[in-house]
Amino acid sequence: MGNPQRRTFHVHSEIIGQGGSTFRKNRTVLLCLGLLNVVLLIAAVVIGFNCAKVREGPFHVSHPAVTQVLDELNYLRSNHSDVIEAEEAAKNAFERAVKNHAQLKEKIEQQKTINDNYQKQMEELQKEQTNLQSNMTALEGNCGRCLSGWALHNSSCYYFSSIEPSTVTKNWHDSRADCIRRGADLIVIDNEEEQRFVSGSIGDMRGTQDILRNSFWIGLTDTETEGTWVWINNVTEVERRYWMDGEPNNSHHHGEDCATAVYSPSNPWKTRNDINCNMYQRHWICEMTSS
């Protein structure tokens, strides 16, 4: 059995012996780890140094393939800068072109406005020229003794309403009112020469319409006494040869009390026809004393 105190001491010694062995092993591991850290630190420094060299300057690698890649990389870098410069230049050129285009467009608009104004002025001048020519023709035609558009014959001025648009026709009363408004009255044909003048004038003015439709009111009626034809100046017409054959016939059932002058190609003397004063719309002839 032995002494219990000696056995206890022996156990403690074993434990201490085992603990020392473990301590040695741990110290070896720690030493290895420390060395490994040193190696890793050196490796990190070397890699960092190489990376810094790559960033700061040309990377000297002797392998031809790597050299070629680096050359191409440098070439691409250079080209990239050129491309950026070219892009910037193109952008500036495009902006200048846009600006020039806007300025050109504005100039074109201004020129168009100027042209439009010239065109308007030309049209106004052409109108004025036409009016002047018309006035000159009128002056040449009536020597300035009649209003524009009126014809001079002997000492009278005559207005033939057929110079207005062909749609403008009136009944006898409205026609007379128009003449009065112009400072004249319906024509009074009181001599042979005037009859010839009227006959020739309405012959010159005859259009393609029916000659009866293209006739003119004159200042002659038998409104007061049927069959007694009186001019508007209260002179009774006694001449019968100026009526068309068979006229005046008062044929219309409402009566035919107003006279018209009708173009008569067969006999220029026979130019008068009686028709209803109100039911028909005709041209008319005004007469006033010339100045």
Distance of CA 43 to CAs 30, 39, 265, 276, Å? 20, 6, 133, 133
Distance CA 226, CA 243 (A): 16
Minimum separation from the CB atom of position 164 to Ca ion (A): 25
70, 185, 250, 276: which one contacts Ca ion (CB under 5 A)? 250
Is residue 287 involved in binding Ca ion (CB under 5 A)?
no
Nearest distance from C-beta of residue 165 to Ca ion, angstroms: 27
- Least gap, CB of 204 to Ca ion (angstroms): 24
# chain residues binding Ca ion, by CB under 5 A: 8
In the structure, how many helices (H) and strands (E) does the chain have? 4, 8
For the chain, first and last CA: distance in Å? 182
Q: Which is nearer to Ca ion, 237 or 256 (CB)?
A: 256
Nearer to Ca ion, 169 or 221 (CB): 221
Using CA atoms, how far residue 64 sits from 48, 69, 79, in Å, is 24, 9, 22
Rounded to whole angstroms, how far apart are CA atoms 255 and 277? 9
Contact range with Ca ion by CB under 5 A, out of 22-30, 140-148, 173-181, 257-265: 257-265
Distance between CA atoms of 8 and 275, rounded to whole angstroms?
171
256 binds Ca ion (CB under 5 A): yes
Kindly state whether residue 237 participates in binding Ca ion, applying the rule CB under 5 A: no
Q: Which is nearer to Ca ion, 58 or 246 (CB)?
A: 246
DSSP, res 205: H
Contacts to Ca ion by CB under 5 A: 222, 247, 249-250, 256-257, 273-274
